[in-house]
Amino acid sequence: MKKKLLSLSVFALSVLLWSCGGSEKSTQEADTTQVDTTAQVEETPQVMEAKPKNIAEIAMADEANFSTLVTALSAAGLVEAVSGEEPLTVFAPTNAAFDAVGKDAVADLLKPENKEKLSKILTYHVVKGSVKSTDLKDGQEVETLQGGKLKVSIKDGKVMIGGANVVTADVEASNGTIHVIDKVLMP
């Protein structure tokens, strides 16, 4: 009986040792497989990000706010000017700002015979370089492409330019900055 118990114990111990040895090899194989999988993931190419839009493209994409501005830029032949690579800052009046001027007055400005006048008004809203709201100082005057100057007023953290409120500041474009304003500026 002791011999049978001893033989059974030796057999059980042998099976136990053999099974432990096999699992070590399986663990190594699993680790190797995991490393190979990780290496494959690292070689996956990155997805390219979309190219930022220029000033004209941003305005055209926001028809609810800028359809009148886009129509005016087109009528004045200035779409290319705000689409180029030269950095510009545009103080962009909303549709509501143009509505405040009056529909008849805007319609008159859009006529071909008033192209020069419209161009002067629109270039009065544009400054060379990309100017962020944090670059503007109270009392500062910024020169426009039209040649006139716009006075900056900052009160309680709110920026005004030429008497218009900046309602959305620092809209970044690939070729500059847009500040949305609530008034059409007249030279």
Phi, psi for 115 (deg, rounded to 5):
-60, -45
Residue 46 maps to a domain:
no
Domain assignment present for residue 165? The answer is yes
The tokens describing 106, both together, are 């805007």
Distance of CA 103 to the CA centre of its chain: 32
Average pLDDT value for the chain: 84
Q: Within a domain: residue 36?
A: no
Mean pLDDT, residues 17-38 taken together? 49
In this prediction, residue 52 carries a pLDDT of 81
Q: Is residue 87 part of a domain?
A: yes
Please say whether the beta carbons of 70 and 60 come within 8 A: yes
> What's the order of all strands across the beta sheet hosting 164-173?
126-128, 88-93, 176-181, 164-173, 158-161, 149-155, 141-143
90 - beta bridge partners? 126, 178
Residues 6+ apart with CB under 8 A from 57: 83, 173
State the CATH number of the domain containing residue 176: 2.30.180.10
Domain assignment present for 61: yes
What is the distance between the alpha carbons of residues 85 and 155, in angstroms, rounded to a whole number? 33
Q: What is the pLDDT of residue 49?
A: 61
90 CB burial (10 A radius; 0-12, 13-18, 19+) = buried
Domain that holds residue 126: 55-181
The full 3-state SS of 74-114, as one line of letters, equals HHCCCCCCCCCCCCEEEEEECHHHHHHHCHHHHHHHCCHHH
pTM, full prediction: 0.73
Instruction: Note the pLDDT of residue 180.
Output: 98
> Which pLDDT value is given to residue 42?
52
Number of domains comprising the chain: 1
Burial class (CB in 10 A: 0-12, 13-18, 19+), 20: exposed
Q: Report in angstroms the alpha-carbon separations of 49 from 44, 46, 123, 172.
A: 16, 9, 32, 16
* pLDDT band at 58; cut points 50, 70, 90: very high
Q: In this structure, is residue 102 part of a structural domain?
A: yes
Pick the more confident residue, 92 or 11: 92
144 near 97, Cβ under 8 Å?
Answer: no
Residue 120 domain flag: yes
Is 173 strand, coil or helix? strand
Q: How far is CA 65 from the centre of its chain?
A: 17
Query: Tell me, what's the pLDDT at 15?
Result: 41
pLDDT in tens, 138-168: 999 999 999 999 999 999 989 999 999 999 9
Does 101 map to a domain?
A: yes
2-16, 49-63, 134-148: range with lowest mean pLDDT: 2-16
* pLDDT score of 123 more than 70: yes
